[in-house]
Structure formats: C-alpha cells, structure tokens
C-alpha cells in the first residue's frame, strides 16, 4: 500500500487500522520537520483528538474509543522536541468480538459506498475486511494528531484555523465573520456557530437517523492571518496542495474556494477582488477567490468548503455482490455508524489544511532566505495583526 505520507518538508506519515490485530492495535503518525526546542503539551494534541472522538452525542457512532494519545519518539528527557521525528500513537480500545464477527459475516460482500470492491481489485482476498481497514474513517485519527503539531507551530506565527458545519439536513448557516465563528466554535453537537441553524440541523439529522439513514453536509474551514506569498504558481499552488490534503479524506466528495462554483455565473468585474491600501498594506475589498491569486496566498483569509458524503453505513437493506462467489446478494442493515460525519470531520480538515500551510511556509521561508528580495516586499508578505 503506497501513499501514506503527506508533505515535503513538514511531513506526516500514518499507519494503522480501524480494528487491527489484538489488544495492542492502534493508529500512529510519524511527524517529520518539527523544529527543536518546542514544548508541545500532549493536552494540546489531545484536545484536537477529542473533537473527532466518537460516542459523544446522538449524532456520532456509538463506538467508545477514548482516543488517548501517547508520545513515543522525538522529545528529550525534559519533554522538549529535539528536531528528530515525532512519534505519536493512539490505541484502539473498543474492538469487541461481536463487531469483528459482524464484519466477518459479510467480508466477501461489497458494501455500497465503501471501498471493498476496489480493495478486492488491489489486494484480493488478503485485503483488510475488518472495519474497512485503512479506508475506515478511523484512519483519520493519525492525521488529526499530526496536523495538531502543525497547528501548534502555526499558532506561534499568529495563524489560526477553524472548521465548522456550514450545511446539513437541508439547513444552511448564515454568513459569519471569523470572530463570530471563533466565538461559537464547538458550542453544539454539530459544531455550527450559527446557533439557530445548528438546532434545525440537529433535528433534521435525528429524523434521518430514525429512518435508519444518514445525512451529508458541507464543512467550511477558514485559515486566518495567513502571510501572503505562500505557494508556487504552477503545479504546487497552495490551493492545489490544500485540495490534495482535503480530497484525501475518505468522506470528502467536492471542494471549493471562496465563492467556488458560483464564479461560473458571475461577470469578471464581479468576481475580481479589488485591491486597496490599508495603512500601507495591500488588502482586498472582497474575498471571492478565497485567499489566493495565481495559487499563491494573497494575505486574506483562506476560505474553503468541502462536500461531505452521508455515512455509507446505513440500517437499510441494500443490493450487493459476493466477490468470492460472484453472485448478487442483499446486504442486511449493519453495525455502528455516525448519523452524519460533519460533526467529527472538521478537525480532520483543520489538520490537513494546517499541514499544507506549514509545509508551504517552510518552503517560502527557505526560498526567501536565498532570494534576498528587497525588504519592501518582505514587509508586504507579513500577515496583518490578528484582531
């Protein structure tokens, strides 16, 4: 299995499965590119893991994983990073035989919306059938731990990243400023800062859950106080790298920046973000492009939205195929699931954007050091002060 590493200078490499082997199974991440001399409290990383932990509300999977992180490499005896790779592990604690047996009962069947069919094509009957293995949503726990390290480093630069549920169950949150989003961050099960919309979303999702089905949605992520000049203008555009990270999350089926697909119905004069001077700094009157020009950050907030599919595991009988006998069968209602993934996927999205931005920041700082541009241009790249 290839493709388990993301990034070039700041890199996260994850491993582990949803169930794994025996009581010692878990998920781990190796983080390359961590500066020496940092005191990263384990509680900081744990806080991000708690955001995606299951079993915290009626909207979540009832799986009771504590998701407690342990550090096993990369720090000295005084708890400070040495500059070596950081090693983090999260053990599985809720891998009950009853659920393993459920997966064993239909391990030869294609579960609609899951990766089994493609796993059969790539790995044959040796593919991991228990809990979807590396295709499980539980795989993202390693991303969150690694991305939390990136967030810690970015916060030293004054950069903040917040994700929240923008839309679900036919309800859309109102437009809100970064300060408003931050004020009401994690105030409810669905993590929607529009508190009235959150109530309606929750009601709608629970109705769908009562029908044995699941709900999708849209999650918006805002990266605040980003310096201008991050990213490269051709293949390594920062928005392309962010898109890579976000689209690598299993439940994400679409992505847009700024006004996104609405730009297709706008005139050029309407879409263009017009510049102005604000105390000697270049700013833009609108942010239709979502914080980018030519794939390079322009100093405005990075605004990105992802379309999150409904949880594919449902309590509704569905048609299937037995890949061993090559016969059509019916798949009965099965196992534990989230009524919607929206309330737990936002920390995963935050993590991937943090990793992409930090990697771009490393590259930009290295380039600037060698380019030796006039100090005028360097000052213009600096982010505006946080409000």
- Is the model more confident about 112 or about 239? 239
Q: What is the pLDDT of residues 54-105, one digit of tens each?
A: 888 889 888 788 899 999 999 998 889 999 999 999 998 877 777 778 788 8
- Residue 335, pLDDT above cutoff 70: no
pLDDT in tens, 32-51: 999 999 999 999 999 999 99
Query: What is the token pair recorded at 71?
Result: 């550090």
Whether 11 maps to a domain, the answer reads yes
Rounded Cα gap, residues 224 and 87, in angstroms: 28
pLDDT tens-digit map of 294-328:
999 999 999 999 999 999 989 888 999 999 999 99
Does the structure show a pLDDT above 50 at 262?
Answer: yes
**Above 70 in pLDDT, residue 194?**
yes
- Walk across the sheet containing 217-224 and list its strands: 171-172, 160-168, 217-224, 302-308, 252-257
Q: Is the pLDDT of residue 24 over 90?
A: no
* pLDDT one-digit tens code per residue, 195-214: 999 999 999 999 999 999 99
DSSP state of 113: T
Q: Does pLDDT of 246 surpass 80?
A: yes
Residue 366 pLDDT grade (very low, low, confident, very high; cuts 50, 70, 90): very high
Supply the range of the domain harboring residue 102. 5-381
At residue 333, does pLDDT exceed 70?
A: no
Closest CA to 187 of 179, 199, 177, 203: 199
Residues 6+ apart with CB under 8 A from 116: 109, 110, 127, 129, 132, 323
CA distance 95 to 64: 9
Q: Say whether 318 sits in a helix, a strand or coil.
A: strand
| pLDDT of residue 387 exceeding 50 | no
SS3 assignment, position 54: coil
386 in a domain, yes or no? no
Rounded Cα–Cα distance for residues 78 and 89 (Å):
20
Give the predicted TM-score (pTM) of the model: 0.94
How many domains are there within the chain? 1
What does the pLDDT read at residue 22? 65
Query: Residue 203 falls within a domain, yes or no?
Result: yes
Reading the block at residue 130, the tokens are: 């228990």
Q: Which CATH number belongs to the domain containing residue 181 in this structure?
A: 3.60.150.10
First CA to last CA distance, the chain: 45
Over residues 134-175, the pLDDT tens digits come to: 888 889 999 999 999 999 999 999 999 999 999 999 999 999
Conformation bin of residue 152: beta by default, left when phi > 0, alpha when psi is -120 to 50: alpha
Alpha carbon 249 to chain centroid distance? Answer: 7
Per-residue pLDDT at 109 exceeds 60: yes
Q: What's the pLDDT tens digit per position in 174-190?
A: 999 999 999 999 999 99
Q: What confidence score (pLDDT) does residue 313 get?
A: 87
Question: Which pLDDT value is given to residue 94?
Answer: 75
pLDDT for 220 beyond 80: yes
Separation between Cα atoms, residue 191 and residue 347, nearest integer Å: 11
Which of these, 325, 278, 7, lies nearest to 147 by C-alpha position?
A: 7
Q: What is the pLDDT of residue 128?
A: 82
Asked, for residue 259, whether it belongs to a domain, the answer is yes
The residue that leads in pLDDT, 24 or 245, is: 245
Token readout for 115 is 């990766």
Q: What is the pLDDT of residues 265-285, one digit of tens each?
A: 999 999 999 999 998 899 999
In this model, does residue 120 exceed pLDDT 50? yes
* Residues across the chain: 387
State the pLDDT confidence band at 334, using cuts at 50, 70 and 90. low
What's the confidence (pLDDT) of residue 160?
A: 98
Residue 315 lies in a domain: yes
> What pLDDT sits at residue 385?
62
The answer to whether position 387 is within a domain reads: no
What is the rounded CA–CA span in Å between residue 19 and residue 216? 25
């Amino acid at each position: 299995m290839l493709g388990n590493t993301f990034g070039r200078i700041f890199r996260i490499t994850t491993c582990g499965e949803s169930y794994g082997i025996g009581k010692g199974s878990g998920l781990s991440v190796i983080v390359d590119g961590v500066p020496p001399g940092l005191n990263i409290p384990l509680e900081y990383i744990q806080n991000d893991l708690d955001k995606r932990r299951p079993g915290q509300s009626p909207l979540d999977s009832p799986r009771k994983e504590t998701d407690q992180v342990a550090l096993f490499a990369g720090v000295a005896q005084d708890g400070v990073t040495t500059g070596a790779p950081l090693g983090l592990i999260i053990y599985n604690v809720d891998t009950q035989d009853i659920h393993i047996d459920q997966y064993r009962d239909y391990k030869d069947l294609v579960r609609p919306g899951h990766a089994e069919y493609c796993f059969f094509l790539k790995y044959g009957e040796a593919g991991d059938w228990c809990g979807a293995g590396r295709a499980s949503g539980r795989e993202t726990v390693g991303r969150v731990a690694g991305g939390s390290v990136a967030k810690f480093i970015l916060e030293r630069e004054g950069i903040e990243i917040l994700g929240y549920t923008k839309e679900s169950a036919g309800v859309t949150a109102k437009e809100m400023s970064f300060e408003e989003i931050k004020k009401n961050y994690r105030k409810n099960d669905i993590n929607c800062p529009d508190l009235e919309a959150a109530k309606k979303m929750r009601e709608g999702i629970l109705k769908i859950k009562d029908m044995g089905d699941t709900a999708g949605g849209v999650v918006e992520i805002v990266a605040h106080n980003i310096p201008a000049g991050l990213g490269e203008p051709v293949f390594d555009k920062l928005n392309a790298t962010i898109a890579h990270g976000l689209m690598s999350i299993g439940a994400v089926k679409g992505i847009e920046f700024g006004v996104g697909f609405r730009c297709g119905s706008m005139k050029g004069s309407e879409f263009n973000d017009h510049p102005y001077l604000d105390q000697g700094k270049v700013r833009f009157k609108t942010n239709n492009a979502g914080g980018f020009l030519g794939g390079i950050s322009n100093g405005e907030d990075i605004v990105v939205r992802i379309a999150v599919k409904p949880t594919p595991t449902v309590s509704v009988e569905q048609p299937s195929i037995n890949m061993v006998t090559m016969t059509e069968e019916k798949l009965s209602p099965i196992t534990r699931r989230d009524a919607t993934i929206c309330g737990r996927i936002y920390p995963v999205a935050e993590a991937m954007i943090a990793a992409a931005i930090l990697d771009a920041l490393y590259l930009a700082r290295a380039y600037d050091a060698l380019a030796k541009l006039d100090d005028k241009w360097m000052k213009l790249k600096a982010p505006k002060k946080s409000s």
